[in-house]
Structure 1
Amino acid sequence: MKYLTAAAATVLMGFSLTIGQTTARAEVPPPVPPISLAPPAGFPQGPNPLQQWIDAHIPKPAQIVPRAARPAPGNVPADLTPLWHAVQSAPTGDPLFDSWPADLERYAPGDILETRDVTGTAFPMLLFTTGTTIQRATLIKFRTTNSSGAPSIGTATLILPAKAWTGPGARPVLLNATAINALSRKCTTGYVLAHGLEVPTGQDFSPSPTLWAAERGYAVVIPDHEGPLMSYAEPTVAGHTMLDSIRAVRNFAPEQFGQSRFASTGYSGGAIASYASAVLADEYAPELTPYLAGASFGGLTTDYRAFAHNFDGSYISGFLLTIALAIAREHPEILGLMNHLAEWAATSPVKEICSGSFGGLGMAPVPFEAVANIDKPLDSALAEEIFDRLNLTGRKSAVPLFVYHGLHDPWIPVSGAERLHREQCALGVAVTKNIVGGEHLLAYLSSYGATTEWLDQRLRGVPATGDCGGAAGAR
C-alpha cells in the first residue's frame, strides 16, 4: 500500500504547512451531517482494490464548515452541496471580499460594487516587496461572470504611480496578473495590499512588472484573477476577471482611463489569466478590443489533459492535486469522484494554503487513483468533459501576443509554446515568440528584458508585426 502511505503523508503535510496561519473571525457555524458520496451515475468503472481498501479503512469526515458567504451556485448538485461548502476557503473577515450583493444579477459585468482607498497598506507592501513607490492604491470590487455564465464578484487593485505620465494621450495601463497560485482568499494580491502580509504567500516575480510600469508612469491594475472561490488555473474565471477589471477601472475613472491603452502580462499561474483574457475578449468584452494593446505571457500550459497525465503520481503530484481541488470549486462535479481520503484532505487546512506552501505538497508522489472513488479517473468521461471545458486552444486572440518559454522547462514542454505560436499565426494574429534558455523560473529572468520592451512599445501605441513569417517581430 505504498500509494496509501504516500497519500496519507501528503494529508499530514498539508496540516503542518498551514499551522500558524491567521484564521478568519466568524460565528461558530452549525454542524452539517457527515458527507456521503457514491460514484457518479453513468460511470461504468467502480472503485479498484486500492480505492475499496481506502474507503473501508478511512471513515467519512464529519465537518464543521465555515458559514458560507452565499448559497451554493446552481451548478452544484444537491448531494454535493455539503462537500462544496466544506472545500471553500474560510471567509476573510473583510466584507469587501466576503459579501455578495443580493441583487447581483441587476449589475452588468464590470459595474462597480464597492471601492476602498488602500494606499496606507499598499504603499509599504509594494515598497518592501517590489521597490515600487506609488501615489495611490484603490481596491475595486465589481461584478463579473463565473465559468458557467452566472454573475459573480471580482476584485482588483488600481495603482497610480508616483511618477507623472508625460506622454501623449491618456495614461496607459498595465494589467499585471501575478502568480497567486493559492487556495485561500487571504492569499490574493488584493487582500495582501489591503491588509498586509498576514499569511506566507508569494506574489509578484522579481524583477517586478509593477515596478517596471510605475517607473515609466504607467498605471497598474492587479486583478485577483482566481475569482472569489479561489479557483486556481480555471481559465474562464481568470479571463473574465481580467477583462472586467478593465471595465471597472474605466467605470471608476473614465476621465483618466476612458481612452487608455491596456496591455496584460503574466507568468506561470499569471500566464493563464493573461492568455485567457486575450482569447476571450472578442466574445466576452468586444467593446474593449479597441483599447487592448497586447498580451504577454510565459510558462503557460494550455493542455491540461497532457499535464495531468504526465505528472500523475510524480514529484509534483501534490501541486497537481491542489489544482484539481481548486478547479473543483468551479466545476463541482469533480467532488463526486473523491474517496474518503480525498474528502479529508480537501476539507483540511490544505484548502487554505498559499503559494509559499505549494512546493512541499509535491514531496510525496500521490496518484489520482489514491484519492478517487473510480478506477482510472483521468480517463473517465467526466475528466474528458472537464478537460474540454478548460481548453481554450483554437480561439483567436483579440490582441497581439508575446509568447515566451524556457527551453528546458521540466514541467511545461516548450512544444506547447511553439504550438500556440503556430496556431495564433495561422489565425492571423501578430505573435512574437521568444524561446529562451533556462528552466521554468530562470526563463522568466531570461526573457524579462525582451518582454518589457515589447510591452512598452504596445502601451505607447507602436503597432506589432509579430514574427509569423520567420523574421523577428516588433519588440
Structure 2
Amino acid sequence: MKGMWSFRALVVTMAIGCLLPMGWSPAGAEPVSDGNGTTSPSELQQWIDTNVPPPTIPPAASPPSRNLTPELAALWQAVRSTPSGDPIFDVWPSDLGRFAPGQIVEWRDVTATSAPLVVVPIQRAMLLKFRTTDALGAPSFGTATLVIPAAEWTGPGGRPVLVNALPINSLGLSCTPSYAMAHGLHSKFNAGDLFPPTTWSSVSRGFAVLIPDHEGPWMSYAEPNVAGHVVLDSIRAVRNSSNEFTGSRFAVGGYSGGAIASYAAAMLVAEYAPELNGVLVGASMGGLAADYRTVARQFNGSSASGILLVVSLAMGREYPEILTYMNNLAQWVATSSVKDSCGETNGPLGVVGIPIEVAATVADPLGTDLAERIFRRTDLTNRRSAVPLYIYHGVHDFWIPLEGAIDIYRAQCARGVPVTFRTLGGEHIIALFSGFPGSIDWLDQRLRGVPAPNDCVTNPVRPPN
C-alpha cells in the first residue's frame, strides 16, 4: 500500500512540476501572513493536501540528543536513511558522551576491499569510527577511512595526510565512500569516489589519504557544522590511531559538496579544534556554495531544484523542525526510497523544476523564521580561515554563481588569510575536472611544507582570472 502511495505522490509531483511552468495556478493562491514570519498555505498547497492523504507512519522514539514530540519523532525516524546493514555505520554508541571529540570508538581493517578501489599499492586501509559533534553541539559519531601507501615515506617529518572530502551529495548511508571502501563495489557505488583520481594521485606521491564521511551518521547533506566537525575529528582520530601521524601535516581538499566540508573545516578549526592549528596546513575548495540564503533562492524551481529538495530533507534530519513544514505529498516522497538516494540521482530529480513550495505547508518556506535561523546557523562567512586557501570556480557555473567564490576571496583577504584563486572555463562539472591539477598540486606543496602563495598581495579586491 505504501509503495502505491509513494508512486502516486511522485506522479502528482511530476504533474504539478509540469503544470507550473505552463502557468497553471489555482485561483486565490496569494499567501496570507500570520505576522510571525510564516504565511498560510496557498490554494495550490491546500489542493495538494486535499488530494494526497497523509501516509501512515508508525510510532518511533526520538533520535539521540533530541527530545521531539511523538508525532515529530515518528516522522524523523521515517525519513532517515535505511540502515546500511553494517553496525559500524548504523549503531549509535550508548556511551558516546564519555568519549572526547576525535577519540576512536571502533575500527576495522578494510585493506582487502579498499585496495582494488585505490589501484595504487597500499600497505593498509582502516575504517575508523570516532566521537564527533552534531550541528547543535551534542555528541555524535563519524566514520572515515585511512589509506596508507605501501611505500615508505622518505620526505621530511611524518608522512603527510591528504584529507579527501568527496562530494557525497547523498541521503543514503550506503552511498558513503567508507561504505564502499569497506564493502567494495556495490549497487549504490558512486563513480565520483574515484574521479578525479585524488586518492590515487595522493597515494602515489607517498601521502596517506583520509576519506571522511562528512555528512555524519544522519546523512545531513550540506550541513557545514556537521561536515567541518567530522573532518576535524577524523584528523584527531588518525593522530590518535598511531604515532606515525603525530608529526604529520594534514591538508583538505573538496569540490562542490566536498568543498562545503573543506571550507567548514578551515573556518571551524580555530574554535573547534585549536590544537590542530599548524597541523592542518591548507584547504582547497572548488565549486563552493557558502551563501545558502542566495543559493536556495536560485535553486528553487530551477534545474537544480532536486538538489534543494534533497538538501532540505537532509537538513531536516539535523534540524527536525523543518519536517513540520512538510505537506502530505512531501511526507510520501520523503519516506519512500528517495530517502536512500545517492548523489547521481539527486540532480536529475530537478529536471522539471519543481519549486519547494510544492512540498510545503506554508507559501514561502524559504522566508520563514525557521529558515532564517538555519541560514544564520549554517553561515560561516563571518569567520577567518585558520589555514591558507585555494579557491577555484567555473566561470560559467550556472548552478553556483562565481560571485559567491569572489566574495569569500575578498573577505578572507581582508582578514589576512593567504588565498590563491583560480577561475576555469566551463560550468560546474567541467570545472571539477579542469580544476583538479591545480588543486592537487597546491595541496602537494602545502603537505611538503612549502609556504603558500598569496594572490591577496597583488589584489585583495579582485581575484586573478
TM exceeds 0.5? yes
1:252-281 Cα distance to aligned partner (Å, 9 max, x none):
01x200010000000011000000000000
Equivalent of residue 87 in structure 1, options 63, 79, 98: 79
Paired letter, 1:244 = D
Paired letter, 1:123 = A
Q: Using the alignment, how far apart are the partners of 2:10 and 2:94 within structure 1? A: 46
Equivalent of residue 352 in structure 1, options 340, 352, 356: 340
Q: 1:165 and 2:153 equivalent?
A: yes
Q: Using the alignment, how far apart are the partners of 2:329 and 2:350 within structure 1? A: 17
Q: Using the alignment, how far apart are the partners of 1:152 and 1:40 within structure 2? A: 36
Question: Does the Cα contact within 8 Å between 1:430 and 1:464 map onto a contact in 2?
Answer: yes
2:360 is aligned to: 372
1:150 is aligned to: 138
1:236 is aligned to: 225
Equivalent of residue 176 in structure 1, options 164, 168, 177: 164
2:398 is aligned to: 410
Within 5 Å, give how 1:244-283 maps onto structure 2.
244-253=233-242, 255-283=243-271
TM-superposed deviation, 1:415: 0.8
Q: Using the alignment, how far apart are the partners of 1:310 and 1:11 within structure 2? A: 20
1:61 is aligned to: 55
Between stretches 347-356 and 42-51, larger displacement belongs to 42-51
Q: Using the alignment, how far apart are the partners of 1:83 and 1:51 within structure 2? A: 20
Shift of the 440–467 alpha-carbon distance from structure 1 to 2, 3 Å rule, reads same
Shift of the 406–447 alpha-carbon distance from structure 1 to 2, 3 Å rule, reads same
Q: Using the alignment, how far apart are the partners of 2:445 and 2:220 within structure 1? A: 33
Q: 1:73 and 2:65 equivalent?
A: yes
Give RMSD over aligned pairs: 2.3
Between stretches 201-210 and 146-155, larger displacement belongs to 201-210
Between stretches 76-85 and 145-154, larger displacement belongs to 76-85
Q: Using the alignment, how far apart are the partners of 2:383 and 2:425 within structure 1? A: 28
Q: 1:304 and 2:292 equivalent?
A: yes
1:47 is aligned to: 41
2:375 is aligned to: 387
Within 5 Å, give how 1:282-297 maps onto structure 2.
282-297=270-285
1:162-207 Cα distance to aligned partner (Å, 9 max, x none):
2321111110000000111110101101111101222334232523
Question: Does the Cα contact within 8 Å between 1:76 and 1:333 map onto a contact in 2?
Answer: no
TM-superposed deviation, 1:451: 1.3
TM-superposed deviation, 1:356: 2.1
Q: 1:443 and 2:441 equivalent?
A: no
Q: Using the alignment, how far apart are the partners of 1:63 and 1:429 within structure 2? A: 50
TM-superposed deviation, 1:285: 0.0
3-state SS, counterpart of residue 206 of structure 2: coil
What TM-score do you get using the length of structure 1 for normalisation? 0.88
Question: Does the Cα contact within 8 Å between 2:38 and 2:365 map onto a contact in 1?
Answer: no
Equivalent of residue 119 in structure 1, options 95, 100, 111: 111
1:274-318 Cα distance to aligned partner (Å, 9 max, x none):
000000000000001121110001000001111111121112212
Paired letter, 2:14 = A
Q: Using the alignment, how far apart are the partners of 2:418 and 2:295 within structure 1? A: 27
The count of residues paired between Structure 1 and Structure 2 equals: 437
Paired letter, 2:140 = S
1:216 is aligned to: 205
2:193 is aligned to: 204
3-state SS, counterpart of residue 116 of structure 1: strand
Q: Using the alignment, how far apart are the partners of 2:347 and 2:38 within structure 1? A: 35
Shift of the 411–120 alpha-carbon distance from structure 1 to 2, 3 Å rule, reads same
Q: Using the alignment, how far apart are the partners of 1:165 and 1:106 within structure 2? A: 35
What TM-score do you get using the length of structure 2 for normalisation? 0.90
Q: Using the alignment, how far apart are the partners of 2:368 and 2:411 within structure 1? A: 28
Question: Does the Cα contact within 8 Å between 2:146 and 2:211 map onto a contact in 1?
Answer: yes
Q: Using the alignment, how far apart are the partners of 1:103 and 1:359 within structure 2? A: 38
Q: Using the alignment, how far apart are the partners of 1:348 and 1:256 within structure 2? A: 45
Question: Does the Cα contact within 8 Å between 1:10 and 1:361 map onto a contact in 2?
Answer: no
3-state SS, counterpart of residue 263 of structure 1: strand
Question: Does the Cα contact within 8 Å between 1:77 and 1:333 map onto a contact in 2?
Answer: no
Shift of the 258–304 alpha-carbon distance from structure 1 to 2, 3 Å rule, reads same
